[in-house]
């Protein structure tokens, strides 16, 4: 079985339907056995292309999520769970060609006060708004527990709501960015992920990207 075809099957399935592809469907499409697909998914997880649960099911294939983590992303005909603020803002940039979604509606709720928020997020410019995104887990530890990390990359009404949430939860402050920075951050991070031959960035390339979009400090390993 071609492991790259399996990766593409997972990602393109998410792109087309908003849901993780069923392993049986992947096996049928790849003319593989369920055991081969299960081994392939574990290999993709080891390479950090997908995140699996304890039963071996795909939970995340960034920027797609099979579980709700605080965001919904609505396209013209498809609804996705947004894995986090970063991933939700990335979807219109990734979804091109046969999956073309030049603008999506990203919806969430502020963890500080419960206020609902929604933005039309497109490719040309950041959406307007004074809200801020708070990332809790530093980049060096984001893969320690990916679901926890993504579930704590959220958007708040502003700094005051971030402070209320931190006080209530006992968490230490992470990294706060405005919506334009979040949009720039998401814009090209996943470039090529729906194409054959995609290669994840090495740490030096990732650090260069972080600097390019305006991130700074030890939180990002800079």
Domain containing residue 13: CATH number: 1.10.10
- Residues 191, 96 share a domain: yes
Cα–Cα distance between 9 and 176 in angstroms, integer? 35
- Residues 105, 26 share a domain: no
Which residues pair with residue 156 across a beta bridge? 132
pLDDT digits (tens, 9 = 90+) for 11-50: 999 999 999 999 999 999 999 999 999 999 999 999 999 9
CB 10 within 8 A of CB 44: yes
Domain count, the chain: 2
pLDDT of residue 86: 98
Contacts of 39 (CB under 8 A, 6+ apart): none
- Residues 102, 211 share a domain: yes
Compute the mean pLDDT over every residue in the chain, rounded to the nearest whole number.
97
Full residue range of the structural domain in which residue 13 is found: 3-61
Task: Give this prediction's pTM.
Answer: 0.96
CB 10 within 8 A of CB 21: yes
CATH number at residue 92: 3.30.450.410
pLDDT below 50 — which residues of the chain?
none
- Residues 90, 16 share a domain: no
- Residues 73, 46 share a domain: no
- Residues 205, 113 share a domain: yes
Q: Are strands 64-65 and 58-61 parallel, antiparallel or unpaired?
A: antiparallel
């Amino acid at each position: 079985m071609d492991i790259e075809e399996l990766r593409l099957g997972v990602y393109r399935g998410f792109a087309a339907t908003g849901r993780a592809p069923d392993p049986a469907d992947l096996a049928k499409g790849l003319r593989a056995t369920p055991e081969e697909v299960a081994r392939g998914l574990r290999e993709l997880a080891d390479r950090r292309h997908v995140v699996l649960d304890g039963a071996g099911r795909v939970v995340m294939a960034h920027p797609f999520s099979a579980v709700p983590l605080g965001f919904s992303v609505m396209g013209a005909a498809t609804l996705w769970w947004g894995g986090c603020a970063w991933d939700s803002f990335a979807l219109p940039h990734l979804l091109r060609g046969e999956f073309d979604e030049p603008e999506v509606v990203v919806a969430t709720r502020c963890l500080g006060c419960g206020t609902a928020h929604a933005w039309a997020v497109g490719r040309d410019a950041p959406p307007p708004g004074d809200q801020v995104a708070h990332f809790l887990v530093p980049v060096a530890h984001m893969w320690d527990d990916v679901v926890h990390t993504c579930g704590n990359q959220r958007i708040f009404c502003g700094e005051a709501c971030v402070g209320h949430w931190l006080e209530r939860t006992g968490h230490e402050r992470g990294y706060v960015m405005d919506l334009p920075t979040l949009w720039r951050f998401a814009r090209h991070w996943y470039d090529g992920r729906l194409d054959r031959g995609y290669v994840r960035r090495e740490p030096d390339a990732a650090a260069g990207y972080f600097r390019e979009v305006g991130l700074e400090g030890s939180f990002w390993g800079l």
